[in-house]
Structure 1
């Protein structure tokens, strides 16, 4: 078990910011902690941490090892939790944060169902497109695009995430369907910017790198500018232009035909959809059950099927050019 103990020391040292703090949490002296870390680095043959009198800093190798260690230790903690907490009733306040669009379409409805199934749980859902500090603000979990930048957090992948270009059928009938990225310069594009501007540089990632291996940047024009994704969404539904949104934000409209995806061969992934939470160790039953319910909802939803197979005609569209 020495290897697992050393892994746990390494993870706790990164989270706490020092070996001495990690040692206090795990019940041994700073000297023992330093010796164990040195033993771990010697066994691996790489330096994991750059140490100074004031702080610890992860090396590149340390960052890779940290992610793997978190997963291994979390699986062990989960196995123990199933035995010790499996029959514990969910109760108390569950605090969840999400981006506005995902919250309204996915997280909020699930929270309502979860509350009905667990009458002793109170659910608070905070919707914000700003990056929230889960630990400082006391949230149990968050739904985000991309992984956590904070080493104190653990991420569970919910699914891939494409950014799609779309418009209403009426707009496309009036203005024509773009057949190439170059066609976008002749279209009204709804811009998401913090300052007023009539043009923006849109970066497009290829959906299939084997067909179109390189990203492309196109300068597009538009007279509607907002810093709010929901407002951009509403303008697009009103037929006022082309908009770029994460597929999870527009999947209902794409399914029922209110919006139509264009140039699907340029709908590359912009970052996986992740469920982020402070720790998997001794999670309260309410948090653990909600995390499992949210993961199951994304795994089995029709939205996930759409994201897994974005555009089977991408190669055909490329050949027609």
Structure 2
């Protein structure tokens, strides 16, 4: 169905802002994606896209065409999902996003087994510690650590992810062991931050309930693994998911700081656009991840 394929290309090019990105997302070369756009423009005798110095933007008629084409594609996807539900054989592209550390350690190793069980599914995994626009990026399922803020998305809680404050014995020998939460203000705290992030703080669990703790440090990064590497190099105290540093705690390379007042657990779950909820492959993948990670965060 060349026309429907051209519609898919046009929608993704508009959403991603370039022919190269749109084509890559659909696993086709920029030349093929460009030809699909030209076929549409020739078919209707209008220009659908204008090129600026930075990206492609739709013309006025292109914007109107995009809104309708997007609805056509969504309706088609929903129809395919219904058929897949009856046939028991889900198929098509499944776009998943997850934080870097979580994605590398837990999610990526599980992908091949899922695809073996459902060979009709093409799974596209995108890993990033930065905020992702799930709707604009066409994400089907976002695996998430924390509390989601977007009420337009469906949140499925899967498990609690326990956290720990950790540092090397060498760092603590040189700078002292914090005895109270207030002592952390005298230490180099390694911070997970990204552009436009809010004021930084840790939330710790105390006998009086959760307490917000303002912390500071010389270094910050938008990749949690970088923070762990800095901590292993004796550069400071880091707040990490316990499962990510369990091996280093067991070996003694890292030790826990203030274990009686640990960071509050992060909620691990899945965010899904409401319109994707009926797609069997989305539901099956969420259920599969929930089964496979059970017990890891304990």
TM-score of the alignment, normalized to the shorter chain, above 0.5: yes
Describe how 1:161-172 pairs up with structure 2 within 5 A: 161-172=161-172
Distance 1:133-1:239 versus aligned 2 partners, 3 A rule:
same
Distance of 2:147 and 2:186 partners within structure 1: 36
Q: Is residue 204–residue 266 contact of structure 1 (8 Å, CA) maintained in 2?
A: no
**1:217 lines up with 2:210 in the alignment:** no
**1:277 lines up with 2:272 in the alignment:** yes
Distance of 1:253 and 1:90 partners within structure 2: 40
Report the Cα offset of residue 261 of structure 1.
1.9
The equivalent residue for 1:49 is none
Gaps of 5+ in 2: 1-80
The equivalent residue for 1:241 is 236
Distance of 1:178 and 1:204 partners within structure 2: 16
Distance 1:256-1:132 versus aligned 2 partners, 3 A rule:
same
Distance 1:269-1:179 versus aligned 2 partners, 3 A rule:
same
SS in 1 for 2:171: helix
Q: Is residue 148–residue 154 contact of structure 1 (8 Å, CA) maintained in 2?
A: no
Distance of 1:147 and 1:201 partners within structure 2: 16
Distance of 1:101 and 1:155 partners within structure 2: 21
The equivalent residue for 1:47 is none
Gaps of 5+ in 1: 1-80, 306-321
Distance of 2:169 and 2:286 partners within structure 1: 37
The structure with more strand, counted as a fraction of residues = 2
Report the Cα offset of residue 97 of structure 1.
0.5
Report the Cα offset of residue 125 of structure 1.
0.6
Distance of 2:139 and 2:276 partners within structure 1: 15
Describe how 1:281-300 pairs up with structure 2 within 5 A: 283-299=278-294
**1:304 lines up with 2:289 in the alignment:** no
Q: Is residue 130–residue 194 contact of structure 2 (8 Å, CA) maintained in 1?
A: no
Distance of 2:187 and 2:147 partners within structure 1: 34
Aligned length: 215
The one-character-per-residue Cα deviations of 1:119-138 (angstroms, maximum 9, x if unpaired) are 33221110112222323222
Distance of 1:291 and 1:183 partners within structure 2: 41
Distance 1:131-1:100 versus aligned 2 partners, 3 A rule:
same
Once superposed, which parts of structure 1, at least 4 consecutive aligned residues long, lie more than 6 Å away? Answer: none
Distance 1:158-1:254 versus aligned 2 partners, 3 A rule:
farther
Distance of 1:273 and 1:205 partners within structure 2: 17
Q: Is residue 160–residue 269 contact of structure 1 (8 Å, CA) maintained in 2?
A: no
Q: Is residue 147–residue 155 contact of structure 1 (8 Å, CA) maintained in 2?
A: no
Report the Cα offset of residue 152 of structure 1.
3.3
Distance of 1:246 and 1:115 partners within structure 2: 28
The equivalent residue for 2:142 is 142
Q: Is residue 102–residue 248 contact of structure 1 (8 Å, CA) maintained in 2?
A: no
The equivalent residue for 1:159 is 159
The one-character-per-residue Cα deviations of 1:61-87 (angstroms, maximum 9, x if unpaired) are xxxxxxxxxxxxxxxxxxxx99x9375
Distance 1:203-1:282 versus aligned 2 partners, 3 A rule:
closer
**1:110 lines up with 2:110 in the alignment:** yes
Distance of 1:229 and 1:239 partners within structure 2: 16
CA RMSD in angstroms comes to: 3.3
The one-character-per-residue Cα deviations of 1:12-45 (angstroms, maximum 9, x if unpaired) are xxxxxxxxxxxxxxxxxxxxxxxxxxxxxxxxxx
The one-character-per-residue Cα deviations of 1:238-282 (angstroms, maximum 9, x if unpaired) are 222211223354344345544322112322426422211123776
Distance 1:144-1:233 versus aligned 2 partners, 3 A rule:
same
The equivalent residue for 1:72 is none
Distance of 1:134 and 1:194 partners within structure 2: 17
